[in-house]
């Protein structure tokens, strides 16, 4: 098994390739990272100049393979069969001209794909390279089993050698974990003092920080499948264990259940892989890999076998010792009982394709998750362990973890933004107290443009949204804020930066500050007073390389969003 060539930064390994390559590579531009929101809608097919398979040198092929991994595979899949983005296999792409493909890649689409050239992430040479690469058969990545995972596992600090209490006087509940995406690092920042506590090495293009049930640890998962365990008790936060359990990954979660069925808090962790398509269960204190569960199966609706059903969202159930796992391509929600790994039990719930981001309602009972290529939100009851309903919102809903609040007219509601249009959709989420509004759209309003995230807090009167994917000039540098007590008045929007893109919001523990990122190589953190919407502080430093997502310990532990 030759895995190294599939890892960013270790592309010297070799892998079997499905097509010959000849000729000189195009100009080598930078390969800056970017959240893969590639929602390619490649338009009508054209026969002019189509059909001939391009030829690339080995060097050019390796460069294209990495760019595809970095920008495209998250939405189109390693095998290019599509999910959040459409099918872009070579059979489909050879029906188009290279000129048509280059234009789409460079300029983007109205369906939500950023223009990689227009925004500066790809050069003209790289755009030309990627158009050719898409007309070649996709190389199939290698598998990865427990043997390879154990070989990659590193325990830097055994549990017995870790401190029994914090070695500092900081408020752990109000610490923030920040992704420094392209640097392959994470930053831990004190939310009270705004001081940098430390920077730790993580995987490439980390997707999320997940706080442990006790709040002592942060777990991170990189796009390269590297998982890290960060101890916040240390004077300077440090990685005490790490491993690599996938070649491409998005989700990590920890066991949080404590109740009549046992105390499992922080005892286990789980990573959801994009490739190979599988779940990996690990020891929660050491990250030693314990069990691999393949997600390959048949789609819920057509019962056709799918070779690449990727793990999207994972959340820890409040009702039972279970992880709630969304399987993107098959449209299934798995409730994985982690109380007995030797005799693993799992409930499969038919939901909808293609599952992506989601989180709980305010009660922590209902999983609200987007099936974004079907333009729908799905509701699953994790207590009764059954499908509840699904309903259409806008074009490609993308709630992140979502946002929950009390509407003055409709009671408890939840909301989502959209990848394909500038729209926030609000729906009732209290079937017990307000059954007449439950799972029905009660409000919607325009935002600043297609975005990735929205955020609120129980102590706030505001909902914050970004427009990271907007193609309109300068729109992705704006923030839009809605009022809970006057939502129909629309958004208050302002330009927050003159460079980069605004992405992702997080509240501090008190709910009176909002932190957001300016996403580029000269990144910044902007901190706002939530009550006045006035900027309180702006952090700029040379270590802020492409800051993206951020997570407050307390809010993450308690599913506050």
Which of 36, 72, 93, 377 does the annotation list as catalytic? 72
| Coil/strand/helix, residue 100 | helix
Q: Is 4-134 a CATH 3.40.50.620 domain?
A: no
Write down the pLDDT at residue 112: 66
DSSP letter, residue 424: E
Res 300 pLDDT > 90 = yes
Strand ranges across the sheet with 175-180: 196-201, 185-190, 175-180, 547-552
Q: pLDDT confidence of 6, banded at 50, 70, 90?
A: low
Pairing type for strands 175-180 and 289-294 reads: unpaired
Please confirm, yes or no, whether 499 is among the known catalytic residues.
Answer: no
Which of 153, 207, 306, 398 does the annotation list as catalytic? 398
Full-model pTM: 0.86
Which of 36, 75, 273, 480 does the annotation list as catalytic? 75
Contact indicator for 271, 283 with CB cutoff of 8 Å: no
Res 480 pLDDT > 70 = yes
Residue-averaged pLDDT of the chain = 89
Write down the pLDDT at residue 52: 65
Q: Do domains 4-134 and 152-287 have the same CATH topology?
A: no
Which of 207, 306, 356, 418 does the annotation list as catalytic? 356
Ramachandran bin of 480, using left for φ above 0, alpha for ψ from -120 to 50, beta for the remaining angles: beta
Write down the pLDDT at residue 39: 27
Least confident of 18-27, 65-74, 160-169, 484-493: 18-27
Instruction: Please give the residue that has the higher pLDDT: either 74 or 245.
Output: 245
Contact indicator for 92, 37 with CB cutoff of 8 Å: no
Percent of the chain with pLDDT over 70: 90
Write down the pLDDT at residue 546: 96
Which of 36, 76, 197, 457 does the annotation list as catalytic? 76
Please confirm, yes or no, whether 558 is among the known catalytic residues.
Answer: no
Res 119 pLDDT > 90 = no
Please confirm, yes or no, whether 356 is among the known catalytic residues.
Answer: yes
Please confirm, yes or no, whether 36 is among the known catalytic residues.
Answer: no
Res 43 pLDDT > 60 = no
Res 9 pLDDT > 80 = no
Distance between alpha carbon 541 and the CA centroid of its chain, in Å?
A: 25
Which of 113, 197, 373, 480 does the annotation list as catalytic? 113
Q: Which residues contact 107 (CB under 8 A, 6 or more apart)?
A: 115, 117, 118
Write down the pLDDT at residue 24: 29
Q: What is the average per-residue pLDDT within 386-398?
A: 97
- Domain positions in the chain are 4-134, 152-287
Tell me the C-alpha distance between 192 and 52, whole Å: 60
Fold (topology level) of 152-287? Methylamine Dehydrogenase; Chain H (2.130.10)
Instruction: Please give the residue that has the higher pLDDT: either 27 or 65.
Output: 65
């Amino acid at each position: 098994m030759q895995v190294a060539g599939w890892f960013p930064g270790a592309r010297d390994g070799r892998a079997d390739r499905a097509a010959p390559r000849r000729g000189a590579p195009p100009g080598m531009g930078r390969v800056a990272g970017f959240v893969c929101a590639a929602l390619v809608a490649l338009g009508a097919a054209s026969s002019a100049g189509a059909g001939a398979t391009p030829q690339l040198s080995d060097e050019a092929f390796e460069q294209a393979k990495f760019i595809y991994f970095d920008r495209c595979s998250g939405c189109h899949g390693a095998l290019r069969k599509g999910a959040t983005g459409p099918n872009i296999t070579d059979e489909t792409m050879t029906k188009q001209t290279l000129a048509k493909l280059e234009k789409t890649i460079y300029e983007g689409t109205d369906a939500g794909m950023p223009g990689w050239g227009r925004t500066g992430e790809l050069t003209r040479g790289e755009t030309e390279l990627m158009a050719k690469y898409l007309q070649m058969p996709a190389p199939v990545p290698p598998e990865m089993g427990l043997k390879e995972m154990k070989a990659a596992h590193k325990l830097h600090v055994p549990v017995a050698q870790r401190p029994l209490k914090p070695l500092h006087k900081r408020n752990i509940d109000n610490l923030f974990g920040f992704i420094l995406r392209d640097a392959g690092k994470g930053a831990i920042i004190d939310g009270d003092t705004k001081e940098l506590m430390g920077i730790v090495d993580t995987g490439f293009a980390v997707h999320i920080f997940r706080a442990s049930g006790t709040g002592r640890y942060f777990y991170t998962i990189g796009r390269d499948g590297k998982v890290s365990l960060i101890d916040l008790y240390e004077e300077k936060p440090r990685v005490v264990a790490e491993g690599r359990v996938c070649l491409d990954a998005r989700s990590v979660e920890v066991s949080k259940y404590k109740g009549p069925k046992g105390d499992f808090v922080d005892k286990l962790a789980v990573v959801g892989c994009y490739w190979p398509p599988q779940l990996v269960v690990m020891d929660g204190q050491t990250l030693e890999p314990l069990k691999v569960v393949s997600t390959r199966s048949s789609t819920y609706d057509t019962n056709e076998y799918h070779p690449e059903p990727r793990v999207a969202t994972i959340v820890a159930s409040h009702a039972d010792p279970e992880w709630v796992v969304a399987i993107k391509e098959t449209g299934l929600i798995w409730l994985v009982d982690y109380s007995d790994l030797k005799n693993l039990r799992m409930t499969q719930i038919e939901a909808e394709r293609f599952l992506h981001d989601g989180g709980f309602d305010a009660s922590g009972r209902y999983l609200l998750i987007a099936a974004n290529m079907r333009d729908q939100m799905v509701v699953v009851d994790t207590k009764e362990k059954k499908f509840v309903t699904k309903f259409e919102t806008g074009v490609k809903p993308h709630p992140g973890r979502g946002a929950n609040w009390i509407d003055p007219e409709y009671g408890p509601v939840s909301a989502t933004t959209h990848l394909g249009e500038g729209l926030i959709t609000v729906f009732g989420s209290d079937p017990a107290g307000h059954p007449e509004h439950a799972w029905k759209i009660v409000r919607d309003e325009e935002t600043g443009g297609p975005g990735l995230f929205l955020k609120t807090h129980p102590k706030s009167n505001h909902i914050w949204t970004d427009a990271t994917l907007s193609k309109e000039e300068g729109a992705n540098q704006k923030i839009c804020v809605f009022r809970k007590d006057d939502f129909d008045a629309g958004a208050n929007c302002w330009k927050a930066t003159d460079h980069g893109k605004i992405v992702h919001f997080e509240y501090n523990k008190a709910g009176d500050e909002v932190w957001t990122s300016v996403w580029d190589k000269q990144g910044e953190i902007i901190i706002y007073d939530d009550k006045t919407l006035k900027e309180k502080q702006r952090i700029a430093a040379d270590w802020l390389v492409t800051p993206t997502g951020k997570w407050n310990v307390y809010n993450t532990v308690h599913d506050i969003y």
